[in-house]
Amino acid sequence: MSGLFITIEGIECVGKSTNAKFISQYLQKKKIKSHISREPGGTKVGEKIRNILLFENQESISPTAELMLLFAARDSHINEVIKPKLSQGTWVICDRFTDASFAYQGYGRELGFDAVNSIKQMVLKDFEPNLTLLLDAPLHVIKSRRKLNPDDRFESEKDEFFNRIRSGYLEMAKKYKKRIKVIDASRPIKEVQIDIKEQLNELIRL
Ligand code: TMP
């Protein structure tokens, strides 16, 4: 018995955590047990790394160091939480995963696809999400929803950074069409959730 692994991606404020809860409740209605987690984070070590990555303000962190820290957190998350839950038959819903490293570090920080891919091969081997929901919306929609936090190392970045990330995500979705489903998150939440349900129903049917 093995659970399925669903990841949710997108730039800030697209509704990832709200929809993670929605997915978990929908699965519960279908009698499927699920666990919600997030990255960076999901373990004690991962949450400490998250704190460094988001709020370190005394010293700079290079893009390569950032990438390594994210994958260090991810390695514990996969081995301590994700794989054990999946092997118990629990589905795992993760607010961001490796596609975020391609989008943010590969495209946003401009480390490139190959740099991220090489560390991905080392840490993940052939482990992949069963379904990735990419909640996509333009930056002006995001900015109209919430003020970005100026103390956050990512949220305090310039518009160009987020525009590179968004196009990086869309490129990833083109590359991995079967796994990554793009959902227009600029619409009202009810409409977004109809599309999410459709994707979940397809996954449940498999
Ligand atoms: P959030 O989960 O609260 O949106 O914050 C996490 C931040 O970390 C977000 O700005 C995106 C960033 N991040 C990366 O840059 N690379 C990654 O691989 C992951 C998982 C997150």
Q: Which two tokens stand for residue 31?
A: 């009698």
Q: Would you say residue 205 has pLDDT above 80?
A: yes
* Residue 122 CB-density burial (10 A; 0-12 exposed, 13-18 middle, 19+ buried): exposed
Q: How confident is the model at residue 1 (pLDDT cuts 50, 70, 90)?
A: low
Distance 151 CA to ligand 1 centre (A): 14
d(CA 31, CA 36): 16
pLDDT in tens, 47-103: 999 999 999 999 999 999 999 999 999 999 999 999 999 999 999 999 999 999 999
Q: Would you say residue 24 has pLDDT above 80?
A: yes
Q: How confident is the model at residue 146 (pLDDT cuts 50, 70, 90)?
A: confident
Query: What percent of the chain is modeled with pLDDT above 90?
Result: 96
Q: Would you say residue 149 has pLDDT above 70?
A: yes
Q: Would you say residue 181 has pLDDT above 80?
A: yes
pLDDT in tens, 8-21: 999 999 999 999 99
Q: Would you say residue 197 has pLDDT above 80?
A: yes
Output the DSSP codes for the chain.
----EEEEE-STTSSHHHHHHHHHHHHHHTT--EEEEESS-SSHHHHHHHHHHHH--SS---HHHHHHHHHHHHHHIIIIIIHHHHHTT-EEEEES-HHHIIIIIIIIS---HHHHHHHHHHHHTT---SEEEEEE--HHHHHHH----TTSTTTTS-HHHHHHHHHHHHHHHHHTTTTEEEEETTS-HHHHHHHHHHHHHHHHH-
Span 168-197, average pLDDT: 98
Smallest Cα–Cα separation from 200: which of 32, 10, 86? 32
Distance 1 CA to ligand 1 centre (A): 31
Atom of ligand 1 nearest to the CA of 40: 20
Span 145-159, average pLDDT: 93
CATH number at residue 10: 3.40.50.300
Q: What are the pocket residues of ligand 1 if the criterion is a CB atom closer than 6 Å to any ligand atom?
A: 12, 38-40, 70, 95-96, 100-101, 104-105, 154
Distance 39 CA to ligand 1 centre (A): 7
d(CA 153, CA 56): 7
Q: How many domains does the chain have?
A: 1
Atom of ligand 1 nearest to the CA of 38: 2
Distance 97 CA to ligand 1 centre (A): 9
Protein residue with its CA nearest to atom 15 in ligand 1: 104
Q: Would you say residue 206 has pLDDT above 80?
A: no
From residue 11, alpha-carbon distances to 99, 124, 152 in Å are 11, 23, 14
pLDDT at position 5 is 98
* Residue 184 CB-density burial (10 A; 0-12 exposed, 13-18 middle, 19+ buried): exposed
- On average, the pLDDT of the chain sits at 97
Atom of ligand 1 nearest to the CA of 97: 20
| Residue range(s) defining the domain that contains residue 106 | 5-204
Distance 16 CA to ligand 1 centre (A): 11
Q: Would you say residue 122 has pLDDT above 90?
A: yes
Span 28-36, average pLDDT: 97
